[in-house]
């Protein structure tokens, strides 16, 4: 298990370099991230969220039953569950459909939820946990989760994608969280 860093921690704003080879250290990081994601009942976790700026994310949408996901491999619909947990290194995303509005949360923003617009369907190219190139299309919650996580890898947070009105409404909560993070980080250092 690794500690999940919260909003206000500088690493969340760092763009991660691509993963070159899957070393034992990367394998360990992947295993730790999956365990940490499950422990926090998250749908996804980016390396930045455990304090490492890297193009690496883990995702598992199986815990969510009320928001459907779809996946297509080489033009054929496949069973989403079979691909979970999904590990993506160096993901690249191409939108295939117009944006839709949907609710999002983030383990680095406890108890903050808001609507965010994102393309409903995307194509993803990446390397898997073995360093093998993969390509697939996906929709629904899975597409949303991958876009949220891929943003993290580039130092982009879901608050950056919210409408100005929503972000203004959240401003007091965000300011409070940032202050709390400052105090927590001080404690961790001591
Ligand atoms: Zn997040």
Going by C-alpha positions, the residue among 74, 50, 63, 80 that lies closest to residue 143 is 80
| H/E run at residue 113 | none
Ligand 1 centre and the CA of 107: distance in Å? 6
Ligand 1 centre and the CA of 22: distance in Å? 23
For the chain, give every domain's residue range. Answer: 10-189
Ligand 1 centre and the CA of 102: distance in Å? 14
Residue located via tokens 């749908």: 43
User: With a threshold of 0.85, does the pTM exceed it?
Assistant: yes
* Residue 20 banded pLDDT, cuts 50, 70, 90: very high
* Residue 190 banded pLDDT, cuts 50, 70, 90: low
Q: Which token pair is 54?
A: 């890297």
- Residues flanking ion ligand 1, Cβ below 5 Å: 106
Ligand 1 centre and the CA of 158: distance in Å? 7
Q: Which conformational region is residue 182 in: left (phi greater than 0), alpha (psi within -120 to 50 degrees), or beta? A: alpha
Going by C-alpha positions, the residue among 1, 2, 3, 15 that lies closest to residue 185 is 3
pLDDT digits (tens, 9 = 90+) for 115-166: 999 999 999 999 999 999 999 999 999 999 999 999 999 999 999 999 999 9
What's the CATH superfamily of 10-189?
Peptide deformylase (3.90.45.10)
Torsion angle in degrees (nearest 10) through CA of 92, 32, 111, 66: 70
Any idea which residues carry the catalytic annotation? 149
Q: Which token pair is 18?
A: 């691509």
């Amino acid at each position: 298990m690794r500690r999940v860093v919260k909003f206000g921690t500088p690493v969340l704003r760092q763009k991660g370099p691509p993963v070159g080879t899957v070393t034992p250290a990367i394998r360990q990081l992947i295993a730790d991230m999956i365990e940490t994601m499950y422990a926090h009942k998250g749908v996804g976790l980016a390396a930045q969220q455990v304090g490492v700026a890297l193009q690496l994310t883990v995702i598992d949408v199986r815990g969510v039953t009320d928001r459907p996901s779809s996946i297509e491999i080489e033009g054929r619909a496949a069973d989403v569950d079979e691909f979970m947990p999904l590990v993506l290194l160096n993901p690249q995303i191409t939108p295939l459909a117009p944006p839709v509005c949907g609710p999002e949360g983030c383990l680095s923003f406890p108890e903050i939820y808001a609507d965010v617009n994102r393309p409903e369907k995307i194509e993803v190219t990446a390397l898997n946990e073995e360093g093998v190139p993969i390509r697939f299309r996906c929709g629904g919650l899975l597409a949303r989760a991958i876009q949220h996580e891929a943003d993290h890898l580039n130092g982009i947070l879901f608050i950056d994608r919210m409408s100005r009105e929503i972000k203004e409404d959240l401003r007091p909560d965000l300011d409070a969280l940032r202050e709390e993070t400052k105090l927590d980080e001080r404690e961790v250092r001591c």
